[in-house]
């Protein structure tokens, strides 16, 4: 095996055919970089996308998640500059070129522009460190096929942020790595207007090949650090991500309502458990003891009578756009989902894939009935996956469309993908797109050479 293939194997695993595809991709990128920026040294950084195996809508409740970095990633080939300018090219011509000067206050590009995901970490690092930061000339490769699928909830945008942050830290020799860097990447995405959790960035940066990543989304009160653990995934099974091709516009109010319902549950439980701030705080209490303390539904008027203002329970600028809140079922999902994440971690660690799969199915039923984030198409896709032989399948991502993640025995994958495609099309008239994925190493410098 050549040195280049050995380097790729350390990242992606031992499948020779897949490694050869990655090698061709890398060499195409290096050739395109040389044509754009000329001869000289070049470094190639990468950051993977992720899929969450289990643990849906638990992160903002300070709960547990179990993502896995994918062998689909964003590549960032670059050459450091002596000044603080960053010039970004993209192998996909439709994205165009972007450039900016690194500073503590970088003007934002229009909302959704891909350059913002590089400007965010550049601005954050400039604010944190006194030294002037070197920029770079770069070429980005996130092409479909081996890049992170876009719009499928697999964190393609976070992968670009992580790749840029890792590159800036490396070329400027900044004392930032590990969980602190992952946390910084999460904060860097605030620049683009989102205030998500840290799961995407931790998975992209800290994952290990052949493993999922258990993450406790509650930072330590004293150190503000997060607990995480690598959990082995049986090499006899593969993760298949199936895109339902269903997208629902204006899901913001639905998501905001779920956040509000969880916080209302906390406010109501605080009468019996003083001092709690998140549903996580009552995770050790049996659900049977919590359930009678929470109403199935409650109106805004009834909440106000109890001193709880539902309009103020969400962050400023957000609205649930409802006067009736389904509190008990939402809290039941979060409480039970945290328990399932811990049980799945134990099942994977003991290579009990049947148990892990059964927990995924339980998670989907809870997401569909208690949290109500599924759709008829997604339910049909999960059923098709199970009928085609998956040991487990569930909705993954925020919900109301998007993707299903399935756990499938390696020798059945090809037949599984074909059968699911036919069954889903027969049930819905839609053509699902499947991504057979392997776990991969987290982000970092992958390759350096002279052109």
C-beta neighbour count of 351 within 10 angstroms: 14
Q: In this structure, are residues 396 and 403 in contact, taking their beta carbons and an 8 Å threshold?
A: yes
Alpha carbon of 60 to those of 138, 278, 279, 298: distances in Å? 34, 9, 10, 22
d(CA 431, CA 40): 45
- Domains in the chain, CATH or no CATH each: 3-232+439-450 (3.30.230.10)
Q: In this structure, are residues 445 and 22 in contact, taking their beta carbons and an 8 Å threshold?
A: no
Phi, psi at residue 342, to the nearest 5°?
-65, -40
Q: For residue 195, what pLDDT is reported?
A: 67
How does strand 237-247 pair with strand 41-54? unpaired
Closest CA to 207 of 236, 232, 181, 230: 230
Closest CA to 368 of 64, 376, 295: 376
Q: For residue 47, what pLDDT is reported?
A: 98
Q: In this structure, are residues 65 and 220 in contact, taking their beta carbons and an 8 Å threshold?
A: no
d(CA 120, CA 99): 13
Q: For residue 202, what pLDDT is reported?
A: 96
Q: What is the pLDDT along the chain (451 residues), one digit of tens a residue?
A: 688 899 999 999 888 999 999 999 999 999 999 999 999 999 999 999 999 999 999 999 999 999 999 999 999 999 999 999 999 999 998 999 999 999 999 999 998 899 999 999 999 999 999 999 999 999 999 998 999 888 777 888 999 999 999 999 999 999 999 999 999 999 999 898 776 778 999 999 999 999 999 999 999 889 888 999 999 999 999 999 999 999 877 678 898 999 999 999 999 999 999 999 999 999 999 999 999 999 999 999 999 999 999 989 988 777 888 999 999 999 999 999 999 999 999 999 999 999 999 999 999 999 999 999 999 999 999 999 999 999 999 999 889 999 999 999 999 999 999 999 999 999 999 999 999 998 999 999 999 999 9
Half-sphere exposure of 451 (CA within 13 A, CB side): 23
Q: For residue 224, what pLDDT is reported?
A: 86
CA angle 161, 162, 168 (to 5 degrees): 90
Q: Where are the beta strands (DSSP E) in 355-443?
A: 392-396, 401-409, 433-437
Phi, psi at residue 198, to the nearest 5°?
-120, 5
d(CA 309, CA 298): 12
Rounded to two decimals, what is the model's pTM?
A: 0.93
Residue 85, classed as helix, strand or coil, is: strand
Q: Which residues are catalytic?
A: 200
Q: In this structure, are residues 246 and 377 in contact, taking their beta carbons and an 8 Å threshold?
A: yes
């Amino acid at each position: 095996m050549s040195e280049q293939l050995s380097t790729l194997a350390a990242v992606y695993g031992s499948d020779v055919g897949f490694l050869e595809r990655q090698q061709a991709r890398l060499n195409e990128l290096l050739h395109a970089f040389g044509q754009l920026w000329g001869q000289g040294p070049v470094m190639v950084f990468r950051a993977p996308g992720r899929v969450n195996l289990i643990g849906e809508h638990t992160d903002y409740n300070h709960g547990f998640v179990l993502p896995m970095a994918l062998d689909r990633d964003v590549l960032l080939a670059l050459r450091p500059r002596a000044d603080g300018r960053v010039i970004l090219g993209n192998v996909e011509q439709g994205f165009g070129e972007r450039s900016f000067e690194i500073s503590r206050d970088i003007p934002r590009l229009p909302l959704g522009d891909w350059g913002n995901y590089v400007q965010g970490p550049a601005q954050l690092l400039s604010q944190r460190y006194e030294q002037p930061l070197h920029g770079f000339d770069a070429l980005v490769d996130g092409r479909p096929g081996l890049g992170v699928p876009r719009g499928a909830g697999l964190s393609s945008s976070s992968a670009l942020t992580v790749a840029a942050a890792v590159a800036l830290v490396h070329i400027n020799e900044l004392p930032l790595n590990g969980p602190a860097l992952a946390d910084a990447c999460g904060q860097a995405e605030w620049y683009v207007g989102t205030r998500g959790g840290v799961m995407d960035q931790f998975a992209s940066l800290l994952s290990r090949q052949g493993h999922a990543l258990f993450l406790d989304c509650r930072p330590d009160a004293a150190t503000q650090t997060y607990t995480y653990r690598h959990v082995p995934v049986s090499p006899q099974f593969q993760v298949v991500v199936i895109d339902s091709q269903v997208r629902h516009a204006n899901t913001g109010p639905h998501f905001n309502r779920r956040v509000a319902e969880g916080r209302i549950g906390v406010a109501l439980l605080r009468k019996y458990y003083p001092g709690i701030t998140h549903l996580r705080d009552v995770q050790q209490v049996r659900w049977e003891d919590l359930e009678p303390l929470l109403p199935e539904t409650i109106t805004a008027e009834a909440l106000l009578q109890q001193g709880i203002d539902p309009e103020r329970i969400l962050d400023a600028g957000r609205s649930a756009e409802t006067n009736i809140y389904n509190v008990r079922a939402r809290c039941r999902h979060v409480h039970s989902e945290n328990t399932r994440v811990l049980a799945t971690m134990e099942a994977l660690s003991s290579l009990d894939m049947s148990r892990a799969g059964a927990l995924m199915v339980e998670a989907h039923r809870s997401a569909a009935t208690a949290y109500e984030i599924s759709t008829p198409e997604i339910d049909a896709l999960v059923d098709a996956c199970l009928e085609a032989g998956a040991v487990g399948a569930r909705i993954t991502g925020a919900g109301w469309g998007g993707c299903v993640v399935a756990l499938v025995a390696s020798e059945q994958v090809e037949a599984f993908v074909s059968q699911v495609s036919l069954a889903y099309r027969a049930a819905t008239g839609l053509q699902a797109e499947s991504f057979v994925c392997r776990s991969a190493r987290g982000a970092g410098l992958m390759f350096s050479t002279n052109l």
